Amino acid sequence: MKKFMFVNRKAPYGTIYALESLEVVLITATFDQDVSLVFMDDGVYELAKGQQTKDIGIKNFSPSYRALEGYDVEKLYVDADSLTARGLSEKDLLVPVEVLDSAQMAELMAQQDVVLSF
Amino acid sequence: MKFGLLVSEGPYTHQASDSAYQFAVAAIAKGHEVQRVFFYHDGVNNATRLTEPPQDDRHIVNRWSALAAQHKVDLVVCVAAALRRGIKEEVLAPGFRISGLGQLVDSGIKADRLVTFGD
């Protein structure tokens, strides 16, 4: 078993990276690997509650993050500075996460076998 | 060392595909193995044989095909990302094949290093 980390750095809409990252995560989960997700920079918006996409005509895929638990993907980490820089806190997020500072994040990244950044 | 490569951007607009190609050539020249190149996001646009750049420019697609022919590099295009962007079997350049995201995960598992080329 290898340790796969997916680093999500982009806003959920505007580009397709967040959605296609989620697709890779769900596939990886079926391979019995150790999967963790990181949300940093604008990527923290992917987990924001209350996403309304009707007016931009793009599907709101944020409920999928709630389904991750069903795939045994339970290691979700959020960068503390990215949250505070955007006026967000843990209670604004859709799912339970662990908030880490930069040093803790760096340590976690160093432990991974595969890091994919989207 | 066994490398897996991930190309996340389309040809010409971004340098990612050029860098990945140059990395692959250099790695093979040094005696390493490039186990697979996986094309995801707009990277799937690297696989269409309809590509026709001006004659004085590099032909990114043909360059990948030649690499596959010479060194048996497995060029895999993500099916979901490809279908979204109109890339189907009938437009694939030689050496490319369409398959699932599992092939990317497989690269992560089997390669010593999975190297991403994107923005």
Indicate the domain borders of chain A.
3-117
CATH number of this structure's domain B2-117, picked from the four choices 3.30.365.10, 3.30.1330.60, 3.40.1260.10, 3.30.300.160: 3.40.1260.10
Interface residues from chain A to B (CB-CB < 8 Å): 2, 4, 16-17, 20, 23-24, 27-28, 30-31, 33, 113-114, 116-118
Q: What is the pLDDT of residues A15-63, one digit of tens each?
A: 999 999 999 999 999 999 999 999 999 999 999 999 999 999 999 999 9
Q: What is the pLDDT of residues A75-95, one digit of tens each?
A: 999 999 999 999 999 999 999
Relative orientation angle of helices B102-110 and A17-29, to the nearest 10 degrees: 70
Q: For the beta carbon of residue B72, count every other beta carbon within 10 angstroms.
A: 10
The pTM of the full predicted model, rounded to 2 decimals, is 0.96
Q: For the beta carbon of residue A45, count every other beta carbon within 10 angstroms.
A: 21
Phi/psi region, residue B94 (left: phi>0; alpha: psi -120 to 50; beta: rest), is beta
Q: Residue B117: phi, psi to the nearest 5?
A: -120, 105
Structure confidence at residue B119 (pLDDT)? 84
CB contact under 8 A, A24 and B114: no
Q: What percent of chain A has pLDDT over 70?
A: 100
Residue of B nearest to A117 (CA): B116
Structure confidence at residue A23 (pLDDT)? 96
Q: What does the alpha-carbon distance between residue A109 and residue A63 come to, in Å, rounded to a whole number? A: 26
Find the CB nearest B104 among A2, A24, A30. A24
State the average pLDDT over residues B21-41. Answer: 98
The set of long-range contacts for B80-87, using a CB threshold of 8 Å and a minimum separation of 24, is B80/A20, B80/A23, B81/A20, B81/B39, B81/B40, B81/B41, B81/B43, B81/B44, B82/B44, B82/B47, B85/B42, B85/B44, B85/B45, B87/B44, B87/B45, B87/B47, B87/B48
State the average pLDDT over residues B10-39. Answer: 98
Q: Locate the domains of chain B by residue range.
A: 2-117
Which of B3, B99, B101, B114 to mutate to test binding with chain A, by most A CBs within 10 Å of its CB?
Answer: B101
Q: Is the pLDDT of residue B113 over 90?
A: yes
Residue of A nearest to B112 (CA): A113
Nearest to A66 by CA among A82, A54, A42, A49: A49
Q: What does the alpha-carbon distance between residue A75 and residue B46 come to, in Å, rounded to a whole number? A: 34
Q: What is the pLDDT of residues B65-104, one digit of tens each?
A: 999 999 999 999 999 999 999 999 999 999 999 999 999 9
Q: What is the pLDDT of residues A94-115, one digit of tens each?
A: 999 999 999 999 999 999 999 9
The CATH code that applies to domain A3-117 is 3.40.1260.10
CB contact under 8 A, B105 and A113: no
CB contact under 8 A, A27 and B105: yes
Which amino acid is it at A57?
Answer: G
The ipTM estimated for the assembled molecules is 0.93
Task: Name the burial class of residue B30, with classes exposed (0-12), middle (13-18) and buried (19+) by CB atoms within 10 angstroms of its CB.
Answer: exposed
The H or E element that residue A94 is part of is none
Q: What percent of chain A has pLDDT over 90?
A: 100
Q: What does the alpha-carbon distance between residue A45 and residue A23 come to, in Å, rounded to a whole number? A: 17
Distant-in-sequence, close-in-space partners of A114: CB < 8 Å, separation ≥ 6: A2, A3, A4, A5, B108, B114
Report chain A residues whose CB lies below 8 A from the CB of B41. Answer: 16-17, 20
Residue with tokens 């269409």: B48
Residues of B annotated as catalytic (active site), given as ranges: 78
CB contact under 8 A, A114 and B100: no
